[in-house]
Structure 1
Amino acid sequence: MTQPHAASRLFDTAEGARLVQARSDPAWRRWGPYLSDRQWGTVREDYSPDGEAWDYLPHDHARSRAYRWGEDGIGGFGTAHLEWCLAPALWNGRDPILKERLFGLTNAEGNHGEDVKELYYYLDATPTHSFMRMLYKYPHDAFPYEGLISENRRRGLDDPEFELLDTGLFDAGRYCDVEIAYAKAAPDDVLMRISVTNRGPEATALTVLPQLWARNTWSWRGEAERPELSAAGDGSVRALHPGLAPMRFHAQGADDLLFTENETNTHRLFGTGPAKASDKEGFYKDGIDARVVRGEAGAVNPAQRGTKCAALYRLDLAPGQTRTLRLRFRPEAEAADPFADFDAVFSARQDEADAFYEALQANIPDPDLRSVQRQALAGMLWSKQLYHYDVREWQDGDPAEPPPPAGRRGGRNADWRHVRAADIVSMPDAWEYPWFASWDLALQSLVLAMVDPDFAKGQLLLLVDEAYMHPNAALPAYEWGFSDANPPLHAFAAWRVFEMDRALTGRPDHAFLKRIFNKLTLNFTWWVNRKDAAGRNLFQGGFLGLDNIGIFDRSKPVGEGAELTQSDATAWMAMYALDLMRIAIELALQDSTYEDMAEKFFEHFLLIAAASGDGVWDEADGYFYDVIESAGGKRLPIRVRTMVGLIPIYAVAVLKEEEIARLPRFSARLQFFLESRPDLARLVSRWNEPGQGRTGLLSLLRGHRLKALLRRMLDPAEFLSDNGIRAVSKVYAATPFRFSWAGQDLGLAYEPAESGSRLFGGNSNWRGPVWLPVNVLLIESLRRFHDYYGPDFRVEAPTGSGRTLSLGEIADDLSRRLIGLSARGADGRRPVYGDSRIEQEDPHFRDHVLFYEYYHGDTGRGVGASHQTGWSGLVALLIQQCEGTPRRDSTAG
C-alpha cells in the first residue's frame, strides 16, 4: 500500500499545529460531533424483557424519553461526555412533530432491514473539529413518516427499498437546504451557524430552533447535582454545569427563548403521573415540541429555566432566499460582543481547513476526486460519537429506576460485564450502526490515519484495553453480540497505521506498536484455542462479518454433529500470524527479545498454510472452499465460489533481506525450519528464491495457485465488475448453486443488490454486490505480491481479454474501478446514484456524494446504509494512492 504523499505538510498548517498541540493538551478535542445520529433503538437504551431494542425505544418515543447512555440530533455538536449538546430542530408548519432527529425504519418495518429515510450530507470537517459543515434537506410538505413505513412494509424482498426521493417531495425543489456549521474560536468557544435556503418556486415559512441541552445524568441515581440553563437579562442563556466553568449561549436576533427539562414525559408514554419529585412542574424533553407544534404554552417553563432550551426563529423565505442564523456558546467570562468577530472566525477556520486539505491533496489534480475524498473524510470525522455502555450497570439497573427484567443477566452480552465504555469512537454509520464493530474500526483507522494518526492509534488501542477486551482475550465484535467473532484485522491495521504515522511524522511510534502487539498476541492465542475445534490449524469463526454469504447461517451449528471448517477463518488467521510476525520483526530491530515472537508467528503461519492446502484448497477447481467435516471424518466441500475463497489472497508478507540479516536468531530459525520441513517450504514459501530488491515471500499461494484464483477473480463472467470485485460469482445468476445437507435442499443465487433473504435481518447482502473493505484488502495484497514478483509476473486481465498486466497494474485498475463508484465519469454520471435523475443532474444534489454500505454488482448503484463511511470511506485512501490517475471511462472488458 503506497504511503500517503506530502506527509509533513499537514503539520505545517494551522490545523496540523492543533493536532500537534493535542498530543500534550487535548483541549481542541473537547468539543466535537459527539452526538449520535440515532440513540433510539440501540442495545444500550433497551431495558425490555425480550431484547427487542427497536421496539422498546422507537422513533416515536425518542422525543419524549430521556436517554440513559447518550444523545442524538441532526448535525449535533457536544462535549466529549455530552455535558452540553447543541443541535437544531426544524418545523415546516405541516409536520406532526419537530424535526429533531433523523427518521428511519426499524428492521421489521423495512423490506430489506433498517434504513435511514432522510437526505443529509457531511460536507467538510477538520480532525480537531475546529471547523465542521453538513447539509440537511427538509421538505416543505409534511414529512411522510407513515407513508415510508407502509410502502416499505408492503414491498417484498424482490422490490427495491422505497426511499424519501421516491415520494416525489423533492421533484420541484420544494424543500429547504439547511446547512449546519460549527467553528471554534478557542477550544471551548463554539460558534454555530445555520444557513437556510428555500430551493422551491414559492415562498415558504420555516421555524428553526437551535437547541442547547444537558445530557440527563441525574435521573438514574437520584443524588446527582443537576445542571441549569436560565435566561439572562441581555437575551443570552446562562449555562451552569457541576464541575465545569459557567458558559453563555448567545442567539443573535432570536424571536424567543423556550425552556424545558430533559426528562421523560411519563404522561405521554405511560399514562402515569410524575415519576419523581423533579417532575412536579411537568416540563419534559418534548416540551418545546408541544409548545411549537401544538401551541401548548404550558409545556415550556415560563420562569425560563431548565436543562434544555431553544432559541426560536420564525423565517419567511422567498424563492431562492437564504437566511443565516448566528449563535455562540462560550465561557461566561468572555465579555466582548459575541458576534463582532463571528464571520471572521468562520472565514479563518474555513481557510485553515482548505489549507489542511490542500496539503493532503497537493498531488491530486482532479477537482472532482478532491471533492469525493474530502467528503469521505468529512463523513468519517462527523461519525465520531460518545460510545457509553457500562454492561454491568446496564444489566443490574439504576438505583432510581425500576429494576430490569430478571432474565436480563443471562441475556445479550451477559458474559461481558467487564465492559465499561465511555469513549469517543469512530462509528461505521452514526445512524444505521451507531456502535463500534471491531473489523470496521480497524479499517476506519486506516482512513483516519491519513489526517489524524494519533486518533487512529487511539482507536486501535481501545478494543485491546481492559475496559473492552475480555479477560479471556477475545475482542468484542459489535453491540448486538460482543461474543460474535469479527475478522481479526487489528494487527494488519496496527502495522499499516504505524507505517502511515511514521510517514506523516517522521518518527516511528514503537511504544504504540509494543502496546498493541502485546495484547494482540493474547487475542491470537484466544483464536487458536477457541476457533480451531480439532487443533489442526483449520479454523471456524461464524459469519465473520460476511452476513449471508453462506448457504446457511455460519454462526450456528450445521447439524448432524458436524463442524464447518471455514476457508476465510483459516485465511484470516494466516494473515493474522503474518502481520504479528511483521510487527515483531520491526520491534526486534530495536529490541532483540522480540525475535522469539517473530519466530513463533512465522512457524504458526507455516502450520496454518500447510493445513489450508490440505483442508480447504481444491486443486481440481483451483479454489478455496468451506468444508463440512462430519464426526466420522467425512469431508464435504461446499463448492460455491464466493469471496470466502478469495480471502486467502490476503495472507501474504514480503520480507526484506537486509532486515532479516540484522536478526541472526530469527534468520537462523527461519532457515532451519524451512530446511527441516521441506514440505512446508515447497508448498507455501518462496523464501529461498529471492525476488526483486532482495526480498522474500511468505504466502498461502505459490504462483500457480495465485494465478488460478486470479483467473476466477478477474473474469467479468464471475467476480470482476466495472466497479470492483463482486462478493459472489455471477455464474449463479443463471443457475443458482444447490447443496443438499441434513435433509435440506440449500441454495445460493447471485443477487447483485438488495438481499433476497432475511438471513441476518436482510439488512446487508454479501451474495453479489461490491464491498469496498474486502476489495481494498485484495488491492493491498496484490501490491505486496507485486513487491516480490515485480513487473515480469503477469496475469491475463480481464480474463479472456488477451491482455496481461502485472499485479501492481491490476491493483491500480481495481482501485480506479472502486473510485469510479463515487467519481463523476466521462458521461457526467456517478454510478453510486444509478438512475436517480435528481442525484445525477440537479445542481443542488449532484456534487454531494453518499458513501453506501455496498454497491450493485452490475451497475455500481449504492445499496444499504447510505452514510457508511466506516466501510466506503476507504475510497479516500484509494484516491490518495492513485493520485493523479485519470478517471476510468469503462469497463470490465
Structure 2
Amino acid sequence: MAEQMNTPEERRLEEDGRRQRNWKRWGPYLPERQWGTVREDYSADGTCWDYLPHDHARSRAYRWGEDGLLGITDRECRLCFAVALWNGRDPILKERLFGLTGPEGNHGEDVKECYFYLDATPTGSYLRALYKYPQREYPYAQLVEEGRRRGKRDAELELVDTGIFDDGRYFDVTVEYAKASPDDILIRVTVANRGPDAAPLHVLPSLWFRNTWSWGRTGEGYWPKPRLVRAGDGAIAAEHASLGRFRLAAEGGPGLLFTENETNVARLFGAPNGSPYVKDAFHEYVVHGRTDAVSADGPGTKAATHYILTLPAGGEATLHLRLTAETEAGGPPAGPEVDRVFADRMREADAFYARHIPATLGEGEQGVVRQAYASLLWSRKFFHYVVKDWLDGDPAQPPPPASRRSGRNADWRHLYNRDVLSLPDSWEYPWYAAWDLAFHMVPFARVDPTFAKEQLVLFTREWYMHPNGQLPAYEFAFSDVNPPVHAWSAWRLYKMTGPRGGRDRLFLERVFQKMCL
C-alpha cells in the first residue's frame, strides 16, 4: 500500500538508490564558474583570481572542470550541455556568467547577472531555470571600474543599477530539461523579448567534452580524446570511451559548428596553436564573423547548433533539442510526445513537492520553499581536485613553480575529489565548504535522504578526511578550522530519515566512528 502512495519521482529515487535505473546520471552538475578557482591556479603565489580570469575563460581549456550557462552534465562531467547567447552588441559571446573577482568587488567576489533557479526534482527528471539577457551591450568595464572605485562602506553596483534593463529591453531565456528515461533528455529553450522593439538574438545550444586528454595522464578519470561529428541526419553524434555514444538532435535543422575544447595558445601566450580550431572558436565566428575559426562537420570536441532569431516586441520563440544515448530509441526533439513528457514531468514534480512541503503553508510560502529546494538541487556540482597531481603538475604541461610544494594545501596530498557535491553557491563559492555542506544536508534530507547521507559519509572517507582526523575545510585552505557541525548534521539526519526503531543505524555508526578520530 505504501508503494502505491509513492509519487513517480519517489519511485525514480528508489530505482536509482537500488541501482536499477541510473536516474541521477545526468543533472544540473555543470559548474557555473571554473575560472578564478584555486584548482585552476598554477601561479607561484596563489593569486587564483589573476591566474585564470574571466577574460581567459573563453580561450583556455580548464584542467579540473567546466562551466556554462544553466547547463547539465553527467556525474563525471564528461559530456556537457549549455546555452550560449549573443545579442549583436556584446564584445564577447555569453557562454558563462560574469562577475567581479575578490579584489575587484568592493565587498569581494560578486556575480553580476540576473538568473533564477525556478524548479528541480532530485533526480533531475525536471529542471527549469531563467536567465535575463540584456539587449543593450553588457557593461563589463563599468561594473569592474565602479567595483574598484567604491569602498567597503558603499553599496555595490548591481547590474540593474546600470539601467541596462530599462524599458524592458532584455530577453527572458528559460531553459528546461525533462527526462523521458535516464539517458533520454528533452531540452526546451524559450526566449521571450520583453522590450518595446524587435530585437535579434543568436542562440547556441552547445555540446562539448571536458578536456581530459591534454594533460599527459592516464588512469581513473582520464580518457582518450573523444569526438563529435555531424551525423547523416543533421544531429551531433558524440562518442566517448567511457560514456558511450550519444546524439544531440535539434529542431528546425539549424547550422552546426564544431571546434576543439583546447586552449587558444596564440591568443593567450603568443605561441602557435596545435590546431586551427580552439576553444573560443564560436566567439570568433559569431562575434567577429571568422568563418575559418570553425568546422561545419567536425570532428571536434566542442559543438553547437546555431539559431539566429529576430523576435518582435513581446514575441517568443521556443527551441527543442534532445540528448539521447545511441542505445535508446529516442524520438524527435519536438512534437506531441515531447510536449506530453514535459507535461508529465511537471505534474510529477508538483505531486512530489505536495508530499514534501507542508500544506499548512500558504500558496506563496509553498512557492518560496519549492524554489529554495530548486536552488539546493541546482547547486549540486561536479567538483574535481586531486591535490597531488595539482601540486606536482602534469607530464604534458610546463612544470609548476617549486614553491607550490610547500604552499597551499601541501599537507593534503592524499585528497582526491571527483564527485558531485553540494556547494555553498554555484558562482560566488564554486567549491565545497565542509560546514556549509553539513547544514545543507538537513533540508536536503527531506527531499533526497540518500544523497544527504552519502555526502556526509563521503567527507569521512580516507580520500577526503586527513589522516589526523580533520575534515577538508575548503580549497583555499583545507587545514582551516571550521565549526564542528558534521556530527550534529549526521545525528539530525539519523533522526529525520526514519521512525524510532527503524532508523539507519549503519549510517550513524559509519560517521560516528570517523568523528572519534
Q: TM class, shorter-chain normalised?
A: over 0.9
Q: The residue matched to 2:128 in structure 1 has which SS?
A: strand
Counterpart among 461, 475, 488 of residue 484 in structure 2: 488
**Does the 8 Å contact 1:67/1:216 carry over to 2?**
yes
The one-letter code sitting in structure 2 at the alignment partner of 1:269 is: L
State which of 164, 168, 172 in structure 2 corresponds to 1:173. Answer: 168
Larger radius of gyration: 1
- C-alpha displacement of 1:305: 2.1
Task: Give the counterpart of 1:293 among 266, 269, 287.
Answer: 287
Quote the Cα distance in structure 1 between the aligned partners of 2:327 and 2:459. Answer: 39
Q: Go from structure 1 to structure 2 and tell me whether the alpha carbon gap of 1:346 and 1:319 turns closer, same or farther (over 3 Å shift).
A: same
SS of structure 2 residue aligned to 1:121: strand
Aligned to 2:474: 478
Q: Distance in 2 between matches of 1:436 and 1:43?
A: 12
Aligned residue for 1:855?
A: none
Alpha-carbon distance between aligned partners in 1 of 2:458 and 2:298, rounded to the nearest angstrom:
42
Instruction: List per-residue Cα deviations over 1:444-477 (Å, max 9, x = no partner).
Output: 0001001000000011112111111000111111
Structure 1 residue ranges, 4+ long, deviating more than 6 angstroms after superposition: 8-11
Instruction: Decide whether the 8 Å contact of 2:217 with 2:394 is kept in 1.
Output: no
In 2, Cα distance between equivalents of 1:300 and 1:252: 21
1:427-826 pair list within 5 angstroms? 427-503=423-499, 507-522=502-517
Cα deviation, residue 372, structure 1: 0.5
Looking at structure 1, the residues matched to 297 and 225 of structure 2 have their Cα atoms a distance apart, in angstroms, of 17
Q: Which has the higher contact order (CA 8 A, sep 6+)?
A: 2
Task: Name the SS for the 1:449 alignment partner.
Answer: helix
Runs of 5+ consecutive residues of structure 2 not aligned to the other structure: none
What residue number does 1:97 align with?
Answer: 92
* Alignment of structure 1 residues 373-452 onto 2, 5 Å: 373-452=369-448
CA contact (8 A) 1:254 1:313 kept: no
Which residue is 2:200 aligned to? 205
1:134-187 CA-partner distances (Å, limit 9, x unpaired): 000000001110110011111122210100010011121110000011111111
CA–CA distance in 2 between the matches of 1:96 and 1:166? 20
**Cα distance in 2 between the residues matched to 1:321 and 1:171:** 18
1:254 to partner: Cα distance: 3.9
The answer to whether the 8 A contact 1:258-1:288 is kept is yes
Q: Is the 8 A contact 1:104 1:116 kept in 2?
A: yes
- TM-score norm. by structure 2 comes to 0.96
Instruction: Specify whether residues 354 and 494 from structure 1 end up closer, same or farther in structure 2 by C-alpha distance, changes over 3 A only.
Output: same
Counterpart of 1:143 in structure 2 is 138
Paired residue secondary structure (2:508): helix
Give the letter for the 2:356 counterpart. Answer: L
Deviation track 1:103-133 (CA, whole Å, cap 9, x = no partner) reads 0001111111110000000000000111100
Instruction: For residues 582-613 of structure 1, give each alpha carbon's deviation from its aligned partner in whole angstroms, at most 9, with x where no partner exists.
Output: xxxxxxxxxxxxxxxxxxxxxxxxxxxxxxxx
Q: CA deviation at 1:9?
A: 9.5
Q: Which has the higher helix share?
A: 1
Relative to structure 1, is the Cα distance of residues 292 and 11 closer, same or farther in structure 2, using a 3 angstrom cutoff? farther
SS at match of 1:172: helix
Q: Does 1:134 align with 2:134?
A: no
Indicate conservation of the 8 Å contact 1:11/1:20, yes or no.
Answer: no
Q: Which amino acid aligns with 1:256?
A: G
Separation in 1 of the partners of 2:254 and 2:144? 35
Q: CA RMSD in A?
A: 1.5
Residue in 2 that maps onto 1:309: 303
Residue aligned with 1:502, SS? coil
Aligned to 2:235: 236
TM-score normalised by the chain length of structure 1: 0.56
Paired position in structure 2 for 1:218: 213
Whole-angstrom distance in 2 between the partners of 1:361 and 1:392: 44
Cα 1:214–1:288 change in 2 (3 A) is same
Q: Secondary structure at the match of 1:480?
A: coil
> Residues of 2 paired with 1:438 and 1:336: CA distance?
40
**In the alignment, is the contact (CA less than 8 A) between 2:184 and 2:330 conserved in 1?**
no
In the TM superposition, what is the alpha-carbon distance from 1:18 to its structure 2 partner?
0.8
1:352/1:297 CA distance change after superposition, 3 Å: same
1:735 match: none
The aligned residue for residue 248 of structure 1 is: 247
Percent identical: 56
Equivalent residue letter for 2:155: P
> What count of residue pairs does the alignment treat as equivalent?
509
Distance of 1:128 and 1:122 partners within structure 2: 16
Residue 112 of structure 2 corresponds to residue 113 of structure 1 = no
User: Per the alignment, in what secondary structure is the counterpart of residue 40 of structure 2?
Assistant: coil
Question: What corresponds to 1:263 in structure 2?
Answer: 262
CA contact (8 A) 1:10 1:359 kept: no
Residue 506 of structure 1 deviates from its aligned partner by 8.5
* Secondary structure of the structure 2 residue equivalent to 1:320: coil
| Distance (whole Å) between structure 1 residues aligned to residue 165 and residue 178 of structure 2 | 30
SS of the counterpart of 1:178?
A: strand
Shift of 1:244: 2.7
Kindly state the Cα deviation for residue 308 of structure 1 after the two structures are TM-superposed: 0.4
Residue 215 of structure 1 deviates from its aligned partner by 0.4
Conserved? CA contact 1:11–1:17, under 8 Å: no
1:249 is aligned with what amino acid? L
Distance across 2 between alignment mates of 1:302 and 1:24: 43
User: Can you list the C-alpha shifts for 1:357-376, whole angstroms capped at 9, x where unaligned?
Assistant: 11112523411101100111
